[in-house]
Amino acid sequence: MDNNKAPKPHFNFMWIYLGIALLLGFLVIRSGGPSLLSSSNKEVTYSEFKTYVSKGYASRIVANKRDGSLCMYVSPEHVRDVFPTSSVQPGTEVFVEAEFPSADKLDSFLEQQQEAGNFKGEVSYEQGDDMFRNILWSFGPLVLIIFFWMFMLRGAGGGGGGGGAMGLFNVGKSRAKLVEKDQRAKVTFKDVAGLNEEKEELEEIVDFLKDPVKYTNLGARIPKGVILTGPPGTGKTLLAKAVAGEANVPFFSLSGSDFVEMFVGVGASRVRDLFRQAKEKSPCIIFIDEIDAIGRARGKNAGFSGNDERENTLNQLLTEMDGFQTNTGVIVLAATNRVDILDKALMRAGRFDRQIEVGLPDVKEREEIFDVHLRPLKLDPELDRTFLAKQTPGFSGADIANVCNEAALIAARHNKKYVSREDFLAAIDRIIGGLERKNKIISDEEKRVIAYHEAGHATVSWILENASPLIKVTIIPRGKSLGAAWYLPEERQITTREQMMDELAAMLGGRVSEQINFGEVSTGALNDLERATKMAYAMVAYYGMSEKVGTISYYDSTGQSDMALTKPYSELTAQQIDAEAKNTIAEAYAMAAEVLRSHADGLKELAELLLEREVVFTEDVERIFGKRKKDILRERKEAEQKALAERKAASGDAEEAAGKKEVAPAESRKDEEKISGTAASAVSDGKSSAETPEV
């Protein structure tokens, strides 16, 4: 079977419905008589009708003998005589309606007018009402409205039924995209860089989908669901696709918002239809991206809605994943970055049995991700991928892909033949700080304040041992900031209070520098103060780093307190937290002030260099202040380790040489013994047994 053959197009019945609607409209218009075809008409008395005819205004007359009504069509040249104030233009055929007393009197009158030459048109008679017209007039508008409404539903809510049915009847169908195993451009674990632990966790799921009998024979229960959590852009969706590719099974993909609709019961219906289709295709995978759209914890807004549609959808999902049904071979993969707000019933064992945290990549994983995204680029042969990985701490896989693309765009903008290291550094700066605004008008006084502000950040972070190492400082405006200092944060798993205090002091270094050098402060430290305040409150209220407040944490990892109207502590405790956070910031402020006063000359030199060059790098700061204490200790440690390794290597070579010298005499002695033994045996062969030497 040729899988590449294009699928046969499905006939869309909407064309039939549209044709029926147009036909009904045409028949209504045609059967409605002149009242629908004409643009203007009015009712007149029989006397007025006779007057119009006698004046020669009539072009033709249509009379209905059954109801005694008639229509007199007005000649185009007499339209203004009959409709003097109407918007009808002269030359347009219009009519008037009237009732006549009897057919005999009407015939007699028209014969007189024809003989007098006042009426030269035709006279036609209708025997009665058009029943079909009356039916159309009664039900036609309703039918048109129904067809119009169905047409709108087709475009708005027609979920999964292809072109064979209308949206009104398909609104409850699943909107999942089915990708058959033979139709997919396969994504495997080899295409997923990094995430080694996560891939190992998912290999068991893949193994089950390939060979479920191996597990069921031992009585094992297969996990029904796996939820992938973590920050945006870390590769959760890619992992799900890789699982489907590795297992080579059908793959249903949809978003949590695809269940949500304006109609009651649609979400639950779509859930039922999704699992019905999945059972028919089993073994298969259902992937629900952004499951928090329907999986949010129930009951938080119960006061606003007694029958929440989202909750109904969630209830149906819970039933389908567990309930009384068996979904053999159907595994549900879900992804979210808000696992804290999900319903507990959804997260329990038996539904989502496993929760896999897909975190931000470390330096080794970032290097692997760079290898993937750098393949299509024309690169500088001297480009160091390890350097790029070290320059992007805290970047997700999506961020790294964006860096690679932005670097290629920058290189193309400068008409380069390949993408170099400088392009990647410019791309990182562009993503972190925003676009350079070199044309922004800044006065000399403001520029000087900005220079000393950024020099204060750089100085404090360089002198303090635990602060993040500096990469570069600039006073070129980027995005919303008027200046910036780039640091390379250490990838720590835990952080001590001393380290956090050094980071706080580095944040406040800009404000302190303004205070010391100009005797006043500015609004330029807004972002610094915001981050410092949040960190200080976290140290006191979350990490238990305050003696007065104590080793107590008010952090809520479940997110339940977000909806609470009250705080989990008393007003007295709140005052203590406020006071301790203020004292923490004051302590960091004093640390920064001490550093800047003791290194005032270096601060001034660095600020003046910034005013001159606008950008200062690590080498310049190192030339002014010398090497950082941490760098000195690290270099010393590396030198000691290198010397130790050299001594071990030298001692190992000496031992090996000595071993060879010891082996050589031993072998010579063995050879001598062997020779002497051979000689003795040779002598004994020529003598009697009594003369044989003793051994």
Active site residues: 454
Q: How far is it, in rounded angstroms, from Cα 632 to Cα 52? A: 114
Q: Which long-range contacts (CB under 8 A, 24 or more apart) does 623-630 make?
A: 625/459, 625/462, 625/463, 625/599, 628/462, 628/463, 628/465, 628/469, 629/465, 630/465, 630/466, 630/469
Report the C-alpha gap between 337 and 234 in whole angstroms: 10
Alpha helices in 226-265 (DSSP H): 236-247
Produce one character per residue of 47-82: b if its CB has 16 or more CB atoms within 10 Å, e if not: eebbebbeebbbbbbbbbeeeeebbbbbbeebbeeb
Q: How far is CA 224 from CA 178, 321, 329, 334, 590, in A?
A: 19, 7, 9, 11, 56
Overall size of the chain counted in residues? 695
CA-to-CA distance for 39 and 95, rounded, in angstroms?
9
Residue ranges with strand state E in 140-291? 177-179, 225-229, 251-255, 284-289
Q: What is the DSSP-derived secondary structure letter of residue 296?
A: B
Rounded CA-CA distance 84/675 in Å is 148
Neighbours of 27 (CB within 10 A): 15
Report the sign of the C-alpha dihedral through residues 19, 20, 23, 24, in that order. negative
Question: If DSSP codes are grouped into helix, strand and coil, which group holds residue 230?
Answer: coil
Residues paired with 71 in a beta bridge: 62, 97
Q: What is the C-alpha separation between 95 and 82, in angstroms, rounded?
A: 9
Q: How many CB atoms lie within 10 A of CB 365?
A: 19
Decide: residue 512, CB within 10 A, 0-12 exposed, 13-18 middle, 19+ buried: buried
Interatomic CA distance for residues 495 and 252, integer angstroms? 42
Neighbouring-strand partners of residue 96: 42, 72
